[in-house]
Amino acid sequence: MTKRYSRSSDEQIKQKLQQLPQIRDNRTKEEVYQNIVKKTDNRANKRRPRKWVIPTLTTAAAFLLLLVLLPNMISTPKQFTADEDSNSIEKRQAGENSTENITEQEEDADNNVEKPARSEQEESDITISEQEEESVEETQIHEEPAVDVEDEDPIYDNYVTALTENDIEQGEKAVTIPLQDVETSVIVPLTFVISENQEALEAFEELTEEYTGEDVGLDPSALQHIDWDYAEEEESPLEVEFEEDLSEASSNESEMIVRSLEESMRYLGETEVILEQNGTEGIELGNYGVLDRYKIDQENRGYYVYTNENRSFLVSGSGANISSTNENGELLTFHETLEHMKSTGENSSVDASIPENMTIEGVHEEQDLARVIFSKDSHLSENNNGRLMVEAVLFAAADFGFERVSFEGENLGEAQGYKLNAPIDVPVAPNQIKN
């Protein structure tokens, strides 16, 4: 049964609504507007993601499918259909190989793409090749030739220096005797200081007989069994008496005796000697035959370096058996002698006394002074080599009659024991042995 509408009911509702308490909204218009905006944004955000659900899932599935198929696509070789003939296949393979070679070269140049994996055989071949290269490199290192000591300038730390006038005190004088190295056939002059009261020839004969040279690594003098005496007549040559029969002396023994005589005469101030045996003039000396006198004509000999296990000495060209003449048999000039002192023969037992890098630009002779001029790039060694060179030049100058030598050059430096800013007096004798 349906309830009928009446106007009295509406009136009752109005009366009841009027009886309700009054409700008021205290918010401002701006606050109401902001709430409406927020609700609108929230509704839009809730609806927006629904549009991207399907595309996102599709992309992810495609990516997974690509990861599964990509390795198979790379490793699977190119397949050709049966309809293609062999020529077309070979052409296509050649084209692909060419393209692959170009691609590999570009990749190697960029160094950004990993190279394809090699087979086990290729890896084995590469390993063997690398080992062979390492073996060759090690062999080259081990077989690399050692530095030849002869190619470097030796350092003469134990050089026996010359005797100068400043080394001789008042009441002293010098005497020089010839010793020898039997093995190398080099004659080495040694100088001793004796009392001025002692007779020089007696001291010479005594030292020649008694000094063995063992303490400086030398053998006794070849003139050990010879007596020296003055002739009865004034201004006559010295008389040399041989005690032993030398008729069967070997060629080397005869040479050593003759060259020892030359060294002795030079420092005794003699140019000629009389050779005697059994009180009679004349001796038979090996391959020289019979000799009654021996004379020295010239003394331009040059000086070189002899070194044994103990020390280094200056020796004359004659003592080292080095010629003092040129190819035509002419005696060398002073300048030529100095150039000759810069080198020795391949089988020589002595070394050069002037280094190759010391360039002599000129030699000027002014009475008793010899001016030796060096290039601007010539420089003396700071060790004993510098002093050795200076003294070798001084002795060579003395053989040519000079009493002083000036060493001139822009960058010569200093030689140990010598000042090069003024002419230097020639020394008394080489190789001073201190008692």
Cα 221 from chain centroid (whole Å): 40
Greatest CA separation found in the chain?
A: 194
Residues 6 or more apart whose CB falls under 8 angstroms from that of 196 comprise 171, 172, 173
* CA-wise closest residue to 316 among 371, 248, 261: 261
Chain segment 306-361, per-residue pLDDT in tens:
999 989 999 999 999 998 888 888 889 999 999 999 999 788 999 999 998 899 99
Residue 120: predicted pLDDT: 55
Reduced to 3 states (helix: H, G, I; strand: E, B; else coil), residue 313 is strand
Tell me the DSSP string of 191-243.
EEEEETTS-HHHHHHHHHHH---GGGT-BPPTTTTEEEE--SSTTPPEEEEE-
For residues 297 and 272, give the distance between their C-alpha atoms in angstroms, rounded to a whole number: 9
The alpha carbon of 1 is separated from its chain's Cα centroid by a whole number of angstroms, namely 132
Residue 294, helix vs strand vs coil: strand
pTM of the entire structure?
0.65
Asked whether 381 and 331 are in contact (CB, 8 A), the reply is: no
The pLDDT value given to residue 434 = 84
Query: Would you state the pLDDT for residue 73?
Result: 56
pLDDT in tens, the chain (435 residues): 444 445 556 677 777 766 666 666 667 767 766 777 666 655 555 444 444 444 555 666 666 666 666 655 554 444 444 444 444 445 445 454 544 554 555 455 455 444 445 555 555 555 555 555 555 455 454 444 443 434 456 778 899 999 999 999 999 999 999 999 999 999 999 999 999 999 999 999 999 999 999 999 999 999 999 999 988 877 789 999 999 999 999 999 999 999 999 999 989 989 999 999 998 999 999 999 999 999 987 676 799 999 999 899 999 999 999 988 888 888 899 999 999 999 997 889 999 999 988 999 999 999 999 999 999 999 887 777 889 999 999 999 999 999 999 999 888 888 888 888 899 999 999 999 986
Q: What is the pLDDT of residue 59?
A: 63
What's the pLDDT score for residue 166?
A: 92
3-state secondary structure of 76: coil
The pLDDT score that the predictor gives to residue 340 is: 94
By residue count, the chain amounts to 435
Query: CA 427 to CA 58: how far, in whole Å?
Result: 109
Instruction: Tell me how far apart the terminal alpha carbons of the chain are, to the nearest angstrom.
Output: 164
Q: What per-residue confidence (pLDDT) applies to 83?
A: 45
- In this structure, what are the phi and psi dihedrals at residue 343, rounded to the nearest 5 degrees? -155, 160
Q: How many distinct helices (H) and strands (E) make up the chain?
A: 9, 15
Q: What is the pLDDT of residue 303?
A: 97
Q: Rounded CA gap, 158 and 34, in Å?
A: 109
